[in-house]
Structures are given as structure tokens and as C-alpha cells.
Amino acid sequence: MHTGAHAGTREGMHIYDYSTDAVLIERFKEGDEFAFDLLVRRYEQKVYQLAYRLTNNPDDAADITAEAFLRMYNSLKRFRGEAQLSTWLYRVVSNVFFDFRKREARHQHLPLEVPDEDEELVELPVPDESVDILGHALQAEQSRVLMEAIQKLPEYQRVMVILFHIEERPYEEIAQIMNLPLGTVKSRLNRARNALRQLLEPYRELFEAESCPTTEEPQEADDALRASQERVERAD
């Protein structure tokens, strides 16, 4: 069994370097199933982690992970390399999640919350005196409350928040993952943050416990939230 970044296999007089995604994809397109197995091993933890953060349920996350890799297997030979494989795979996972929620909604006779394309994307007002909850470092209980609040967001907002604040994907990559214009991604993420602030408002005292009011700019608040996710990851 080959392991390591430069594992290869001999075919005739050739030794193939399996260290890059591009090589693995080309080998798989040529019929090398071992190359696909290596891709799965390379990304299975990231895929499961994203699925779990989207669902907050280990069984659902496992189902989404399995379906995502099945779709990857069936579609990878048509992959043209216009985006990084990780970006393309995040898109697959997001689509599987949306499909999963649609099936769940039909089963429960509930509407799936999707963004209205014709709706003007505006920032919801936040009172000036409101503490910027997202800007504070989170302790264990704060992390739990935050993740529960994220689960209450509409599906598209949930994906946006997790991709940007927890997975730390840049705006441009999220635009590729979601197949949306960059401006739309920024607007929807802004609305998602405001929705999250409103969900966290009942827990104002919890988030004020070790902090004082802040007047951080939005980007600084984003940076603070991303830094706080280290505590969330350690709690996972």
C-alpha cells in the first residue's frame, strides 16, 4: 500500500506521482480507481466536517458525505479544472445539503427557505447601542449557542456563514461554490450576519459577560468571529 505525498505506482516503465489533485484526477479519468480512493482519503475529513457543521447531526453528515463522494465519482471525469477541486467539492457538498433539506421539507410538509432573487438585498438595521455580539471571543457555552443559532438560519444563509466564518473561504471562492456573482455573495452574507445577530440578541448577557461594547468596523468584526471559531473547532 502506498502512502505519503509522493506515493506512486509503476505501469510498464512509468512511475506516476500522486501528490497533486490534478494528477489524481487525470489518472482517474484514465481508469485508475486507486487515484479516486486517494482523493477520497484526502478530502473525506473536510467534507464530513462541512456536512456536520451544516446539519449538526452526525448521521445526516455521514449520509451527505457518502452522497457527495458518489456524485464526485459520477461527475469527476467531466471535471474541467476551471476551479480548484476543493472549491468544486464544496459546491457538491452544498448541493447535496440543499437536496437533503428539500427532501426533509417535503417529508415534513414544510417550505424550504430559499432567497428571493427579486428581493432587494439590504442590510437590516442594528441599533447603535447594541453590542456587536459577533465581535467577542466565545467560550464553550457561547460557542454552543452560536452554532445552535447558525442552525436556525435559512439554508442559504447557513451555508454562507459556515463557508466564510468557519471554513474561512474567501468571497471569491464562495461565489464559485454557490455559482453566484461576487456582489450577491457579499450582500447575502451581510444579511446572514444581521439575521444571526438577531438570533443571538436573547443571549446578550451571555455574550457581554467577558466583554464590553465595541464599535468595530464590519471587517474587524468578521476577523474576530473567524478567530473565535478556533474555540468552536476545539469543542467539536
Helices marked H in 113-203 — which ranges? 140-151, 155-161, 171-178, 182-200
Going residue by residue through the chain (236 aa), what tens digit of pLDDT does each one get? 444 444 444 444 355 667 799 999 999 999 999 999 999 999 999 999 999 999 999 999 999 999 999 999 999 999 988 889 999 999 999 999 999 988 877 766 555 454 544 433 333 333 333 444 444 444 677 788 888 999 999 999 999 999 998 899 999 999 999 999 999 999 999 999 999 999 988 888 777 755 544 334 344 444 445 544 554 444 45
- Enter the pTM of the model: 0.68
Q: What is the structure's pLDDT at 214? A: 39
DSSP label at 130?
Answer: S
- What are the Cα distances from residue 183, in Å, to 113, 154, 172? 21, 19, 10
The pLDDT assigned to 206 comes to 73
How much is the pLDDT for 121?
Answer: 37
Which domains occur in the chain, in start order?
14-108 (1.10.1740.10), 133-235 (1.10.10.10)
